[in-house]
């Protein structure tokens, strides 16, 4: 594999892109924006992570057999420069705390793009920074780290961005276009996020409990169908009827199309990483309780998942 060092072509000065969390997705966005010549600034956890980053001399983006090293600027949350736009690329369970650390730096016109999977963390972050604009995102791109400060662009996909209050698109999204980050403004972002949450709830916990690929769920069709009935009722009850349309058919289509794959939750557990269950099946169970909807299968699967994670010594929230 060839590794190139890249300094980028500077663009007209414009507000920098701050990237909060330089993990898989944060690095995937940061490297593409920097490669296109934008001013990108990584916000890392603390001084120790900053030192480790400086030792690596930048972030490396791996695409196929090409690797490119981008010496992107980095800082800790207590840096002084104001933040006008920031991609929040932490896991759902870290997002609220990470944003709290930079809240004092947000300029009056700031907007945050929230890339978290599931639901719940976006609303918590938005409540924390009521004067900033929060854009919710749903991504089908795939990335993983094959080493510290290295990201592999593993799956081409698309990003939908939208405002839960149904406002217009922010003006600076052109930067994403110029950086090759496929995206579109979605007037129905909440419906997309609910649909994705329902697909996740119907598939991912079962793959963990049955220790199987997505295709392995073909042996558990009855449970999948029972979950789909409850999840459809939940979506309707939560004023997301569009997200419920043909849910069961799509779940089975995804199971077929990704039969050989292991779900993201399965991979998290296999690698002994904390899962985002509180923002997935946990969020769904709480929403059902809130509207007084009986969802016995969803509830039972969520409880089994908690017991399974606890048994493995992994966090269950
Ligand atoms: P990840 O690789 O674990 O990266 C998360 C990053 O956040 C880590 O680098 C972590 O720092 C950093 N972080 C946590 N707390 C922080 C803080 N207080 N200040 C600064 N940085 C902090 O996670 P990911 O895979 O990119 O996923 C991010 C979100 O995108 C998740 O909700 C995930 O479900 C969603 N998503 C991921 C993919 C994918 O293919 N990876 C696809 C679609 C959606 P350390 O490195 O120091 O731990």
The overall average pLDDT reported for the chain is 95
Domain span holding position 162: 2-186
Q: Is residue 317 part of a domain?
A: no
Q: Is residue 88 part of a domain?
A: yes
pLDDT in tens, 76-111: 999 999 999 999 999 999 999 999 999 999 999 999
Question: What is the value of pTM for the model shown?
Answer: 0.95
Give, using CA atoms, the residue closest to atom 40 of ligand 1. 142
Q: Is residue 207 part of a domain?
A: yes
Are 93 and 129 found together in one domain? Answer: yes
Q: Specify the number of domains making up the chain.
A: 2
Q: What pLDDT is recorded for position 8?
A: 53
Q: Is the CB of 218 under 6 A from ligand 1?
A: no
Residue finishing a domain among 168, 186, 204:
186
Which ligand 1 atom lies nearest to the CA of residue 98? 18
Q: Is residue 203 part of a domain?
A: yes
- Tell me which DSSP letter residue 104 carries: G
Q: Are 145 and 125 in contact (CB under 8 A)?
A: no
Which CATH number belongs to the domain containing residue 14 in this structure?
A: 3.40.50.720
Residue among 275, 267, 266 at smallest CA distance from 310: 275
Q: Is the CB of 114 under 6 A from ligand 1?
A: no
Are 118 and 11 found together in one domain? Answer: yes
Residue finishing a domain among 152, 186, 220:
186
Give, using CA atoms, the residue closest to atom 8 of ligand 1. 23
Distance from residue 255's CA to the centre of ligand 1 (Å): 26
Are 109 and 75 found together in one domain? Answer: yes
Helix (H, G, I), strand (E, B) or coil at 122: helix
pLDDT in tens, 4-56: 666 555 665 679 999 999 999 999 999 999 999 999 999 999 999 999 999 99
Q: What pLDDT is recorded for position 170?
A: 80
Query: Residues 86, 87, 92, 94: what is their CA dihedral angle, to the nearest 10 degrees?
Result: -50
As separate numbers, helices (DSSP H) first and strands (DSSP E) second, the chain gives 12, 13
Are 108 and 245 found together in one domain? Answer: no
Are 138 and 43 found together in one domain? Answer: yes
Distance from residue 163's CA to the centre of ligand 1 (Å): 22
Decide which of 172 and 105 is more confident: 105
String of DSSP letters for 216-265: GGGGGHHHHHHHHHHHHHHHHHTT-HHHHTTHHHHHHHHHHHTTTPPPHH
Distance from residue 294's CA to the centre of ligand 1 (Å): 33
Q: Is the CB of 21 under 6 A from ligand 1?
A: yes
Are 141 and 54 found together in one domain? Answer: yes
Q: Is residue 94 part of a domain?
A: yes
Q: Is the CB of 116 under 6 A from ligand 1?
A: yes
Which CATH number belongs to the domain containing residue 288 in this structure?
A: 1.10.1040.10
Residue 198 has pLDDT above 90, yes or no: yes
Are 182 and 195 found together in one domain? Answer: no
């Amino acid at each position: 594999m060839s590794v190139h060092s890249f300094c980028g072509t500077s663009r007209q000065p414009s507000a920098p892109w701050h990237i909060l969390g330089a993990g898989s997705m944060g690095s995937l966005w940061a490297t593409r924006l920097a490669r296109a010549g934008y001013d990108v600034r990584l916000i890392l956890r603390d001084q120790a992570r900053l030192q480790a980053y400086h030792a690596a001399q930048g972030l490396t983006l791996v695409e196929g057999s090409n690797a490119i090293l981008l010496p992107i600027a980095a800082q800790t949350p207590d840096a002084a420069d104001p933040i006008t736009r920031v991609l929040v690329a932490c896991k759902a369970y870290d997002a609220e705390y990470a944003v709290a650390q930079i809240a004092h730096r947000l300029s009056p016109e700031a907007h945050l793009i929230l890339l978290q999977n599931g639901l719940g963390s976006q609303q918590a972050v938005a409540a924390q920074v009521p004067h900033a604009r929060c854009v919710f995102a749903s991504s089908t791109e795939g990335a993983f780290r094959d080493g510290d400060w290295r990201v592999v662009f593993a799956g081409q996909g698309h990003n939908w961005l939208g405002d839960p209050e149904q406002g217009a698109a922010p003006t600076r999204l052109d930067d994403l276009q110029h950086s090759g980050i496929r995206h579109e403004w979605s007037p129905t972002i909440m419906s997309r996020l609910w649909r994705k949450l329902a697909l996740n709830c119907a598939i991912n916990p079962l793959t963990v409990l049955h220790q199987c690929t997505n295709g392995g769920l073909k042996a558990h069709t009855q449970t999948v169908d029972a979950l789909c009935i409850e999840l459809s009722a939940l979506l309707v009850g939560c004023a997301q009827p569009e997200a419920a349309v043909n849910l069961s058919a799509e779940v089975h289509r995804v199971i077929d199309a990704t039969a050989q794959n292991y779900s993201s939750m399965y991979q998290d557990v296999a690698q002994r990483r904390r899962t985002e269950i509180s923002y997935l099946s946990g969020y769904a169970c709480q929403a059902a309780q809130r509207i007084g909807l009986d969802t016995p299968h969803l509830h039972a699967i969520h409880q089994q998942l908690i017991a399974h994670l606890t048994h493995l010594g992994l966090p269950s929230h």
